[in-house]
A = this chain, B = another copy of it.
Amino acid sequence: MPLRTKLALVVILLCGLIATSTKLYAQDAAQPAPNVVVNSDGTVQIPSYAVPLSSFLSPDAKTYVTDHMREMQDPELVKQDQGVPRFMKRYLERDEALFALERKDVSLGGVHTYTYSPRAGISDKNKARVLINLHGGGFSGCWPGCAELESMPISALMKIKVVTVDYREGPDNKFPAASEDVASVYRELLKTYKPQDIGIYGCSAGGMLTAMSLAWFQTHGLPTPGAVGIYCASAGAFGGDATYIAFPFGEGRMPPAHPPAQSQLGYFGGTDMKDPLVSPMNSPEILAKFPPTLLITGTRDFAMSGTIHTDAELTKRGVKAELHVWDGLFHGFFYNADVPESQDAFNVMISFFDRNLGTK
């Protein structure tokens, strides 16, 4: 869309709320817009409609989002081979080409990790610092696929050591196995690093586990780390508007009508989901002790609402929360390092940890 058209749209939109809207709509009377029905409980029934890609996306991202929605419609492409969803394979190949890293298999506190270091060396100021990555994958997979995609760009671009944790997942393991594993790795790293020099971050299940780990540390005598990143995730429930935006806009399918019963949920089977160790959002006291927290999402991410709600609650509790949302992008969009928006997100992540680690 040319800029003049876009800016014309601005003014229409600015006028949308006020009296002129009546006039604007009257001009379109020959083709009346189909009605949205507002029910008494506030549910809106929306007629079938077409939604284009976000006008704010880069050309590369436009191709990326189109491809992603089509891939999400193919059940074969979301299957995992050795912990790597098929549609993510090409992102992993690109990371291997782009980022010169040394990867070591390391056991830390008895837990398996991959430890990445940039071949060009760790920067002077980052020698005293380390990042722990907790990978996405619904607590039931995506090791090592998601772990590598979340760790490699950050280790290389920030010139820092990143330890990504092969924490225990469902359905074979149950809560709190993953929290225990994160605590074991953290305790081991505390022998070398000060807590204020350790950052923890993750996307999706890994973002949720980052929040859960903070609650776990608080209740198990461990110090709070210097800063954390909760990406494409919440410190509690997801839900909200994002369910109804992200699936049709970002995944090419309708939202699930009936979530299966909790007993089917693998890792959290038998768990009291109200427990603040699972959902720190349920405890204002625990939230208030969060360190500086970076929150990242996109408007087509099914975790958007949970992410922004976490920002709102942390802010209310006096925590230094920093939120950034990318328009038109979906859950875990930055797994593709070639897209300019992913590079912007990496820069935000790196700047955040650089500003917030080691400052206590």
Q: Which residues of A contact B (CB under 8 A)?
A: 1, 3-22, 24-25, 27-28, 31, 33-36, 38, 40-56, 62, 65-66, 69-70, 72-73, 75, 78-80, 85, 136-142, 204-205, 208, 233-234, 236-245, 247-249, 251-262, 265-268, 273-274, 278-279, 282, 299-300, 302-306, 308-309, 311-312, 315-316, 322-328, 331-332, 344, 347-348
Query: Assuming the A-B contacts A48-B47, A53-B41, A80-B19, are A243 and B9 also in contact, with contact meaning beta carbons closer than 8 angstroms in the complex?
Result: yes
A49 touches B254 (CB 8 A): yes
Residues in chain B near residue A256, CB distance under 8 A? 12, 24-25, 28, 33
For A45, A241, A245, A255, the residue with the greatest tally of chain B CB atoms inside 10 Å of its CB is: A241
Query: Assuming the A-B contacts A274-B3, A312-B324, are A54 and B240 also in contact, with contact meaning beta carbons closer than 8 angstroms in the complex?
Result: yes
Residues in chain B near residue A332, CB distance under 8 A? 17
A326 touches B308 (CB 8 A): yes
A239 touches B55 (CB 8 A): yes
- A42 CB contact (under 8 Å) in B52, B242, B315: B52
Residues in chain B near residue A62, CB distance under 8 A? 42
Given contacts A13-B239, A38-B73, A312-B326, 18 further A-B contacts (CB under 8 A): A3-B274, A7-B279, A9-B259, A12-B259, A13-B238, A14-B138, A14-B208, A17-B136, A18-B85, A18-B140, A19-B79, A22-B75, A44-B69, A44-B252, A45-B48, A54-B305, A245-B299, A323-B324
B15 touches A140 (CB 8 A): yes
With the chains together, A355 CA to B346 CA distance in Å?
A: 27
Shortest beta-carbon distance, A215 to chain B, in Å? 14
The closest CB in chain B to the CB of A332 belongs to: B17
The closest CB in chain B to the CB of A330 belongs to: B17
Residues in chain B near residue A344, CB distance under 8 A? 312, 316
Supply 22 A–B pairs (Cβ within 8 Å), ascending by A.
A3-B282, A11-B265, A16-B138, A17-B85, A17-B251, A18-B137, A19-B80, A20-B140, A22-B78, A27-B260, A35-B253, A36-B247, A41-B52, A42-B66, A45-B50, A46-B248, A49-B244, A55-B305, A56-B305, A299-B304, A305-B327, A311-B325
B36 touches A252 (CB 8 A): yes
- A40 CB contact (under 8 Å) in B27, B66, B72: B66
Q: Is the interface of A mostly helix, strand, loop or mixed?
A: mixed
B238 touches A18 (CB 8 A): no
A28 touches B257 (CB 8 A): yes
For A79, A237, A265, A326, the residue with the greatest tally of chain B CB atoms inside 10 Å of its CB is: A237
Query: Assuming the A-B contacts A241-B54, A262-B8, A327-B309, are A252 and B38 also in contact, with contact meaning beta carbons closer than 8 angstroms in the complex?
Result: yes
Shortest beta-carbon distance, A307 to chain B, in Å? 9
Residues in chain B near residue A16, CB distance under 8 A? 138, 247, 251, 302, 331
With the chains together, A188 CA to B341 CA distance in Å?
A: 42
A36 touches B253 (CB 8 A): yes
The closest CB in chain B to the CB of A25 belongs to: B256
- A20 CB contact (under 8 Å) in B49, B51, B138: B138
Shortest beta-carbon distance, A333 to chain B, in Å? 11
A254 touches B69 (CB 8 A): no
B204 touches A17 (CB 8 A): yes
B208 touches A10 (CB 8 A): yes
Query: Assuming the A-B contacts A41-B66, A141-B18, are A273 and B78 also in contact, with contact meaning beta carbons closer than 8 angstroms in the complex?
Result: no
Residues in chain B near residue A274, CB distance under 8 A? 3-4, 7
